[in-house]
């Protein structure tokens, strides 16, 4: 079995693959203060709940955008899984031709998404990952990673409004169903969500023009992807486990 970690700024998604099949997955808080032992107890509890023995793990691969959590995670893998984890970063084979001015600046999650996206959906391709930040990645018809756009995520935008305006409350990210709202909470929800939909549609539209084609598959992933997808036709489909699949593919390329 392969244990995979997609470590984001807010959450990390943990998955177990048996061959090509993702048999279990969990979403937990990313906590830079947790020790390797605390992660060991937590992961072991999740595995045990689904009747999976830690000793059945053959290998581990990690993609992370949070450097401060890596020491604890690596030590967890060595101590509890008895495996040195494979880390997505310099020196790892991805098969991806990165056209960024400095390829080392491309986040591990964006690389992993691109590898899985090309494998599953072909090219050209746009991948939108709705996380703490929302990233838009463009892949050419030659399977080249061209670059993209990074925006504040929905939750960051919502928190900024709450923290920056004294009389505005913190609101739940749900759709009010209208834009002419008669309460402050609904007015904020409309502005945050529908305004964000407009941002997504504009960036995708510009990317398609820069790619020189309207025939571009657009894939959404990440925790809040379903919320935005339900309000726009710009995203063709949602693939919640795109990053985990990319980790499996990269692990395969390097074994």
CATH code of the domain containing 10: 3.30.420.40
Same domain? For 144 and 227 the reply is yes
How many residues does the structure list for the chain? 255
The question of whether 236 is a catalytic residue gets the answer no
Same domain? For 164 and 182 the reply is yes
Both tokens of 56, joined, read: 């059945």
Whether 21 shows a pLDDT value over 90: the answer reads yes
Neighbouring residues of 119: CB distance < 8 A, sequence distance ≥ 6: 245, 246, 249
Task: Name the catalytic one among 6, 109, 129, 239.
Answer: 109
DSSP one-letter string for 124-149:
SEEEEEESSEEEEEEE-TT-EEEEEE
Helix boundaries (H) for 11-136: 36-49, 70-76, 108-121
| pLDDT for the residue numbered 77 | 95
* pLDDT, average across residues 175-203: 94
Same domain? For 10 and 74 the reply is yes
Of the pLDDT bands very low, low, confident and very high (cuts 50, 70, 90), residue 162 is: confident
The answer to whether position 251 is within a domain reads: no
The answer to whether position 246 is within a domain reads: no
Same domain? For 80 and 106 the reply is no
| pLDDT for the residue numbered 164 | 87
Whether 166 shows a pLDDT value over 90: the answer reads no
The answer to whether position 38 is within a domain reads: yes
The answer to whether position 249 is within a domain reads: no
| pLDDT for the residue numbered 91 | 85
Whether 76 shows a pLDDT value over 90: the answer reads yes
Domain count, the chain: 2
| pLDDT for the residue numbered 104 | 86
Domain range enclosing 131: 97-241
């Amino acid at each position: 079995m392969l244990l995979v970690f997609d470590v984001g700024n807010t959450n990390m998604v943990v998955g177990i693959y048996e061959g090509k099949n993702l048999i279990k997955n969990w979403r937990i808080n990313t906590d830079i203060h947790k020790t390797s032992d605390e992660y060991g107890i937590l992961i072991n509890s999740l595995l045990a709940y689904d009747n999976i023995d830690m000793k059945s793990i053959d290998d581990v691969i990690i993609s992370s955008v949070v450097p401060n959590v890596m020491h604890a995670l690596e030590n967890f893998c060595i101590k509890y899984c008895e495996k040195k984890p494979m880390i997505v970063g310099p020196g790892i084979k991805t098969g991806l031709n990165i056209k960024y001015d400095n390829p080392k600046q491309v986040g591990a999650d964006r690389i992993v998404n691109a590898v899985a996206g090309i494998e599953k959906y072909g090219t050209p391709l746009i991948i939108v990952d709705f996380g703490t930040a929302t990233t838009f990645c463009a892949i050419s018809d030659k399977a080249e990673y061209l670059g993209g756009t990074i925006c504040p995520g929905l939750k960051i935008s919502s928190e900024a409004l709450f923290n920056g305006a004294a009389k505005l409350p913190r609101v739940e990210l749900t759709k009010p169903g209208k834009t002419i709202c008669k309460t402050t909470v609904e007015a904020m929800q409309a502005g945050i969500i529908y305004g964000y939909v407009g941002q997504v549609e504009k960036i995708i539209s510009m990317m398609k023009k820069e790619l020189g084609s309207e025939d571009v598959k657009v894939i959404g992933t990440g925790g809040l992807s379903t919320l935005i997808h339900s309000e726009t036709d710009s995203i063709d489909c949602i693939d919640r486990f795109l990053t985990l699949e990319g980790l499996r593919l990269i692990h395969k390329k390097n074994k």
